[in-house]
Structure 1
Amino acid sequence: MTDETSSSSSYLRRLGMWSGAAIVVGGVIGSGIFRTPATVAERTGSGLPLLALWVLGGLLTLAGVLCYAELGARRPQAGGIYLYLREAFGALPAFLFGWTMALINYPGSVAAVAVTFADYFCRATSLPAPWVKPVAAGAIFFIVGVNLFGVRAGAWLVNVFTLLKLAAISMLLVVGLVLAHGHFGGVLAVDTTVHVSAGAWIGAVLPVLFTYGGFHYLNDMAGEVRDPQRTLPRALTLGLVGVVVCYVLANIAYLVGLGHAGLAASKAPAADLMSSIFGPRGATIMAIGIACSTFGYCSIAIAGGARVLQTMGADGMFFRSVGQIDARWRAPQVALGVLGLWAIVLIVTGTFDSLVNYTTVGEWLGHAFGIATLFWYRRQFGAQSSPYRVPLYPVLPFVFVATVLGVIAATVISTPRDAGMSLVIIVLGVPVYALWRWWSRQRANA
């Protein structure tokens, strides 16, 4: 589909492979890699187990990405998991995913990361703490404003900030691997005197997998990808492989520069590593890098979440006005405005932290069931040729789904309150769905 032949009510396919890969990289790399390795180090005994967890987490995520590549190639329209669930399992599961993600998790995540951006921005610019919320709200307002002018403007913003966040990670690598004059011997060390319990291992796996999250945003925007049957698999794979390389190298830099014990004791390893070489100025430089990284994530999450919300509106699962696509800029302007405004409300009220904690299980359930739709597609359309097929089928999707369900079970055990609230939010979507369908029928009859 070309720009010229697209109807005025559809998206334009303007995203190429590099922009798609930038969306994958920017959607995964937020603030986690600058902080999470300390938590993982605290729960592992030495360098080799720590690196092994990051490699295994990357391989598992790559398995999920390859499954998403086939799903995106089979259904290259906007909506991502919502679209796959609706087609494979029906309207109710799709609505429950949209209810949990597009209306709660996406705006909650955007609000939380926008506040993180504002916090680091204010540190770097010496603005007082009361400025954090206004800066966060201003960032969301600016991102929504840019995306109102279509995917090309939004992609430009994503590409710039993806390069900036990669520059921040590159700086981290140079400092840790070259300037810190640490010892590489501790990188692959195994301390047999330290006993790590099974609970600690599970506690170390969870933050690794969550730091690899966010790889699905390109599928949310699949309706704007050029030659999607070829571009989506390549962009997804290239982007995720790049993330895994960045994450593993960043952890090696932490281990070389700080040592395993120093990394485990750190509250802000990236800032501590930079400070060890450049003093307070180093911490300021890293604050700028993390601000750029989190700002880029917000841009992607707003763009992807708005596409899911727009698809729901077009399906009649939300207000019809939200399902509209602007005829001139081919952007879901109403959906962008709704998502951005709701995220700003969450910032002002300060309720975003609870929402993000309460919907994490729902997000990963969505990933599990979303990839499980691949079994349905293969059974229904297995005889049809597909431009891309996930290798080692059915092993890869089965391993991903089984592992994610295991992680969810571990989360329920370790944080029953948050996990229980997540399940409550999902279940509350059932009466909301019934009420919405009844109201829609009444409106149609009227």
Structure 2
Amino acid sequence: MNDTAPAGSTAHPVGYARRLNAWDAAMVVVGGIIGSGIFLTPASIARQTGSAGEQLLAWGVGGVIALIGALCYAELGTRRPNAGGGYVNLRDAFGLVVAFVYGWNLLVVNHSGSIAAVSTVFVEYAAAAAGVTLADPRPYAVATIVFLAGINWFGIRAGSLTQNVLTVLKLAAIAILIAVGLSVRGAPPPAAPAGPVSPFAFAGALMPVLFSYGGWYYVNDIAGEVREPQRTIPRALIYGMLLVALCYLLANLAYLAVLGHDGLAASKAPAADVMRHGFGETGARVIAAGIAISTLGFVNISMIGAARVFQVMGADGVFFRSAGRLHPRWRSPNVALLLLAFAACVLALTGTFDQLLNYSTVGDWLGMAAVVATLFWYRRHPSTDAVTFRTPWYPLLPIVFLVVVAGVVGTTIWQHPGDAGWGALITLAGLPVYFIWRLLPR
């Protein structure tokens, strides 16, 4: 398949090329999940659980729920191995308006906000690793966004190679953290358990756990560029999720071995505290570099996946038409990429992303639940194409996923009604935007 369309030809518009192999897809899954969460979130989970056992149970339950979601996405990816991921599934099952609201939430909150926020986190940890104090990280965050957009302008291979390197490095950072934590002697003796927390409180602790496990869906967003997607996508999702769950559980064991449950709950930077315990300030700077690399990889894959969703929306006529085109040579969604980078840069410069992210967590998991629900529609409308992977124990696993997500989200809304309410308003604002957009002349 040629990289460019024939000069002056409009009969065959430029499409995506399948250039990613199984290793690339697995690195997308792992890199899309592991960001800064595992380095920071365990402390907040410890504050919401009563013992080390409950801490590990929360991460184990979260891993099982995420694996169930990944299994459902694996079937969806084989049924619709095209760019756009969940947006395409929702469009098929529930219509364009529901798909647009999903994409709207990604545009104005989830992806643009997370790219802005995590780029800022990258800058702060990179500065800490270098021993530099920055008066204002925002210009450097913008430079990071522009740099990664520039790499991804040159197509999926350039973005994927960058992702592969960053993901291997972030796994190495986690491996070092685990090795140091499990080998350190003189850990504090375990404190007397505070008693089991209520199921309601435990459900509340699961939301940040699920947040740390989210992101496996990026491989479905780029399914149109994966070779043999019917075989590759399920393998990448299953093995990638299992690897992440193993890393997360071992990392929590390392935290607990060094800090204990109470020390973990009191820590503001548990990864740095573990490394500092083993190697002093040098260790803290090493893990700061690891967190910087991990966050940079997350920004990169978020940019890759989101741009393809917005490109499909443009092709459907519910986003800028120009965003629906691909670069004639590099086959990248270059216009969608520029629009996404611009939105993220604006948020990074204005510093308005923190509250947006507080609003987005509930919407993010509700969006994933809606995508998983499309599996019931696909099962009732059999495809003429061969379906090479089916979610095991259907319909039990999708139902379990939906019930657990509904329970966790409901608990979060009960505990934080303000953030959840604003998140709902931002999402529902997509409805009038959709109908206005459809009325505009084309």
Q: Please classify the TM superposition score into its range, dividing by the shorter chain length.
A: over 0.9
Q: Which moved further from structure 2: 127-136 or 226-235?
A: 127-136
Residue identity opposite 1:399 in structure 2: V
Q: Which moved further from structure 2: 376-385 or 233-242?
A: 376-385
- Cα-to-partner distance string for 1:385-408 (whole Å, 9 max, x where unaligned): 411101010011111111111111
- Cα-to-partner distance string for 1:46-87 (whole Å, 9 max, x where unaligned): 221211111111011000000000000000000011100001
* Aligned: 1:171 with 2:172: no
Cα distance in 2 between the residues matched to 1:112 and 1:103: 13
Query: 1:45 Cα deviation (Å)?
Result: 1.7
- Structure 2 residue aligned with 1:16: 21
Specify which of 104, 111, 117 is matched with residue 109 of structure 2: 104
Cα distance in 2 between the residues matched to 1:330 and 1:106: 21
- Cα-to-partner distance string for 1:99-126 (whole Å, 9 max, x where unaligned): 1113432000100111111111111223
Residue identity opposite 2:162 in structure 1: L
Cα distance in 1 between the residues matched to 2:78 and 2:171: 28
Aligned positions of 1:385-424 closer than 5 A: 385-424=386-425
* Aligned: 1:219 with 2:220: yes
Distance 1:47 1:104, change over 3 A: closer
- Structure 2 residue aligned with 1:147: 152
Aligned positions of 1:305-316 closer than 5 A: 305-316=306-317
- Structure 2 residue aligned with 1:327: 328
Query: 1:196 Cα deviation (Å)?
Result: 2.1
Structure 1: stretches of 5+ with no match in the other structure: none
Cα distance in 2 between the residues matched to 1:38 and 1:361: 20
Query: 1:361 Cα deviation (Å)?
Result: 1.9
- Structure 2 residue aligned with 1:367: 368
Maintained 8 Å contact 2:85/2:217: yes
- Cα-to-partner distance string for 1:252-279 (whole Å, 9 max, x where unaligned): 1111121112111111110000001111
Cα distance in 2 between the residues matched to 1:91 and 1:228: 25
Q: Which moved further from structure 2: 274-283 or 119-128?
A: 119-128
Identity %: 51
Maintained 8 Å contact 1:43/1:200: yes
Cα distance in 1 between the residues matched to 2:161 and 2:254: 30
Maintained 8 Å contact 2:79/2:383: no
Query: 1:246 Cα deviation (Å)?
Result: 0.3
Maintained 8 Å contact 2:51/2:194: no
Query: 1:426 Cα deviation (Å)?
Result: 1.6
The alignment's TM-score, normalised by the length of structure 2, stands at 0.95
Matched residues, number: 436
Maintained 8 Å contact 1:114/1:136: yes
* Aligned: 1:94 with 2:95: no
Cα distance in 2 between the residues matched to 1:52 and 1:20: 29
- Cα-to-partner distance string for 1:232-255 (whole Å, 9 max, x where unaligned): 000111111110000001011111
Maintained 8 Å contact 2:4/2:14: no
- Cα-to-partner distance string for 1:153-191 (whole Å, 9 max, x where unaligned): 0000000100111011011011011134548x95xx9x5
- Structure 2 residue aligned with 1:162: 167
- Cα-to-partner distance string for 1:288-324 (whole Å, 9 max, x where unaligned): 0000000000000001000001000000011110111
Maintained 8 Å contact 1:11/1:223: yes
Cα distance in 2 between the residues matched to 1:391 and 1:77: 23
- Structure 2 residue aligned with 1:357: 358
Query: 1:3 Cα deviation (Å)?
Result: 6.1
Distance 1:4 1:338, change over 3 A: closer
Question: Tell me, what secondary structure is at the counterpart of 1:392?
Answer: coil
Residue identity opposite 1:276 in structure 2: H
- Cα-to-partner distance string for 1:175-212 (whole Å, 9 max, x where unaligned): 011134548x95xx9x5552523443233211111110
Distance 1:306 1:383, change over 3 A: closer
Question: Tell me, what secondary structure is at the counterpart of 1:279?
Answer: helix
* Aligned: 1:80 with 2:81: no
Cα distance in 2 between the residues matched to 1:10 and 1:212: 31
Question: Tell me, what secondary structure is at the counterpart of 1:35?
Answer: helix
Residue identity opposite 1:132 in structure 2: P
- Structure 2 residue aligned with 1:258: 259
- Cα-to-partner distance string for 1:216-243 (whole Å, 9 max, x where unaligned): 1110111100000000000111111110
* Aligned: 1:33 with 2:33: no
Cα distance in 1 between the residues matched to 2:38 and 2:251: 8
Cα distance in 2 between the residues matched to 1:44 and 1:303: 36
Cα distance in 2 between the residues matched to 1:68 and 1:3: 30
Maintained 8 Å contact 1:143/1:299: yes
Specify which of 91, 113, 120 is matched with residue 125 of structure 2: 120
Cα distance in 1 between the residues matched to 2:369 and 2:197: 28
- Structure 2 residue aligned with 1:338: 339
Cα distance in 2 between the residues matched to 1:60 and 1:289: 27
Query: 1:130 Cα deviation (Å)?
Result: 2.2
Cα distance in 2 between the residues matched to 1:426 and 1:368: 15
Query: 1:4 Cα deviation (Å)?
Result: 7.6
Cα distance in 2 between the residues matched to 1:217 and 1:266: 31
Aligned positions of 1:244-323 closer than 5 A: 244-323=245-324
Residue identity opposite 1:290 in structure 2: I
- Structure 2 residue aligned with 1:194: 195
Q: CA RMSD in A?
A: 1.8
- Structure 2 residue aligned with 1:236: 237
Cα distance in 2 between the residues matched to 1:103 and 1:226: 31
Q: Which moved further from structure 2: 367-376 or 41-50?
A: 41-50
Query: 1:8 Cα deviation (Å)?
Result: 5.2
